[in-house]
């Protein structure tokens, strides 16, 4: 194992911003900041529940836009794999987060903060299969 590109301070501060965002949404709106759940509710919407979801996702897009405007570092972001793998990965992430009721934000951050057994279990599971997935692709196949 070699440790590369480790950015602990940026990571902690970025994480604190994400945590604050989730805390604000729950304190004011009573909603869990789970991106897959919020976005899923846009794709197959209930009657009364659509507008805040669209606004929240728009906020995330604007947040990234502002960051790129200030730092100009967005151009350095490149895909890790070929388009075919991107499509396969996207499909699997869609199926998985919908079936498993959450992703890194809903289970990993909000759920664990509430000490939810389901979220702790889900987070350990997707971390484990994530490690296995990368191990197979990079070290067995690659």
Partner 1 sequence: MKLFIVLVSGILFGLGLSYGQMIDPNKVINFLDITGTWDPSLAFVMGGALVVNIVAFHFTSKRKRPLIAGETFRKPSKQDIDKPLLIGAALFGIGWGIAGYCPGPMFASVSFAGSSVWLIIVAYSVGTLVTKLVIKYINNQKIKTDIA
Minimum CB separation of residue 54 from partner 1 in Å reads 9
Minimum CB separation of residue 47 from partner 1 in Å reads 15
Minimum CB separation of residue 50 from partner 1 in Å reads 11
Task: Output the DSSP codes for 60-118.
Answer: HHHHHHHHHHHH-GGGG---SS-HHHHHHHHHHHHHHHHHTT--IIIIIIIIHHTT-HH
CB nearer partner 1, residue 47 or residue 59: 59
CB nearer partner 1, residue 17 or residue 47: 17
CB nearer partner 1, residue 36 or residue 47: 36
Neighbours of 83 (CB within 10 A): 8
């Amino acid at each position: 194992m070699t440790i590369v590109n480790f950015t602990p301070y940026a990571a902690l501060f970025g994480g604190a911003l994400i945590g604050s965002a989730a805390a604000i949404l729950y304190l004011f709106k009573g909603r869990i900041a789970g991106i897959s759940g919020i976005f899923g509710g846009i794709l197959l919407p209930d009657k009364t529940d659509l507008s805040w979801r669209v606004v929240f996702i728009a906020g995330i897009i604007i947040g990234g836009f502002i960051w790129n405007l200030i730092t100009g570092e967005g151009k350095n972001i490149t895909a890790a794999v070929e388009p075919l793998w991107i499509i396969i990965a996207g499909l699997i992430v869609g199926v998985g987060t919908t079936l498993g009721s959450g992703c890194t934000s809903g289970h990993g951050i909000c759920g664990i903060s509430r000490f939810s057994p389901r979220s702790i279990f889900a987070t350990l599971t997707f971390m484990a299969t994530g490690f296995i997935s990368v191990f197979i692709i990079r070290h067995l196949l690659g």
